Amino acid sequence: MEQYRDKYIEFILKTKGVSWEYSRISKGHIDKLLKFLQEKQINDINSVDRLVLYDYQEMIMKTQNLATVSKHGVLMATALFFQFLYDYEYIKDNPGLIIEYPKLGSRIPKDIMNEKEISFLLNLPNKSNLIGLRDFCIMSLLYSSAMRTKELFNLKLEDIDFKRNQVLVKRPKNKRDRIMHIDSFTATYIRKYIQKVRPWLLKNKSSEHLFISATGTNLNRNSFAAHFSGKYAPIMRNKFNKNITPYCFRHTSATHWMDSGARQRKDVLPYVQRQLGHESLESTAIYTHVAIEPLRQMFKQYHPREKQFKHMNKIPSPADLINKWHKKKNNPSL
């Protein structure tokens, strides 16, 4: 069975151009299937019929410790695996056609920070401290650019253009390089980090990467996430009751951009799409659901029922009418 799995992984790496991370995740998903088949004592791939895969699908759907998105990924990898086997004639029939994916439901991001909260968070790092200055640069760059955390920690020195305040993101999620813009404030502090902090962190070592760990190695997103969750996340949770992670900066930045565009009556959706690196506008349109403050203000200002409610406040109460009648009776000149 493993030989077919290896052939499939080699196929998606060479033909589909997927990343090593995607292939590793796919291998893990298919390994779940192979373990299930082994427990069923099925050793021939052609012995896997639709009933077997139906039982496997039921088992995955009932697994308590798997999130819906993970179940979706496991079942999709299984279906693609059997489609490959059928297309290349390793099997005579494709039992994977019966697989159905769970509905993913709403993908609206949670724990979006408002402007007060993001300002508070960005003031937490001590910029007079070397590690604090590095942390501030990371968080400010995440918020300014709305890039993915993986993209940020893959940045190299050559990718920063201080003349244009631009960052070159190479081969991101959809395999396309793109230019991202950053604000002058963030660019100024990144320059300070490169000049003063980065050489101290490297400790006579060499690296092309922009962000360096306290041990002098390339800083990765998992290490920073652990650092962030221990140092900054508890403060945000205690003060604002929000579970903030480094990825929240991307959601927050996109939402604030949509908010600002809505206030100015401008269609910024295509520009946000380009900055985020989304292939489809549908992915970016998620942020139109969370950028609701301008919509709420527009509703209160222009919806007919809201306007009607405002006029209701001007309608006198029965007691006011009675008092007015008595005043007019006692003083006809009124």
Q: Do residues 249 and 134 share a domain? A: yes
Number of structural domains found in the chain: 2
Q: Do residues 122 and 206 share a domain? A: yes
Give pLDDT, residue 121. Answer: 96
Q: Do residues 155 and 231 share a domain? A: yes
Neighbouring C-alpha atoms within 13 Å toward the C-beta of 135: 25
* Cβ pair 155, 222 in contact under 8 A: no
Instruction: State how far the Cα of 279 lies from the Cα of 140, in Å rounded to an integer.
Output: 25
Instruction: State how far the Cα of 90 lies from the Cα of 333, in Å rounded to an integer.
Output: 102
Question: 14: buried, middle or exposed (CB in 10 Å: 19+, 13-18, 0-12)?
Answer: exposed
Give pLDDT, residue 169. Answer: 85
pLDDT < 50: residue spans in the chain: 262-263, 281, 284, 292
Tokens, residue 303: 């919806």
Question: How many residues does this entry show for the chain?
Answer: 334
Which among 72, 98, 124 is the end of a domain? 98
Which among 237, 263, 289 is the end of a domain? 263
Neighbouring C-alpha atoms within 13 Å toward the C-beta of 243: 2
**Which structural domain range is residue 84 located in?**
2-98
Domain-located, residue 37: yes
Q: Do residues 121 and 75 share a domain? A: no
Domain-located, residue 61: yes
Domain-located, residue 128: yes
pTM value?
A: 0.61
Q: Do residues 134 and 30 share a domain? A: no
Which among 212, 232, 263 is the end of a domain? 263
Instruction: State how far the Cα of 141 lies from the Cα of 186, in Å rounded to an integer.
Output: 6
Q: Do residues 135 and 77 share a domain? A: no
Give pLDDT, residue 262. Answer: 46
Domain-located, residue 119: yes
Q: Do residues 125 and 253 share a domain? A: yes
Domain-located, residue 244: yes
DSSP letter string, 155-224: -BGGGEETTTTEEEE-S-TTS--EEEE--HHHHHHHHHIIIIIHHHHHTT---SBS-B-TTSSBP-HHHH
Q: Do residues 179 and 76 share a domain? A: no
SS3 call for 124: coil
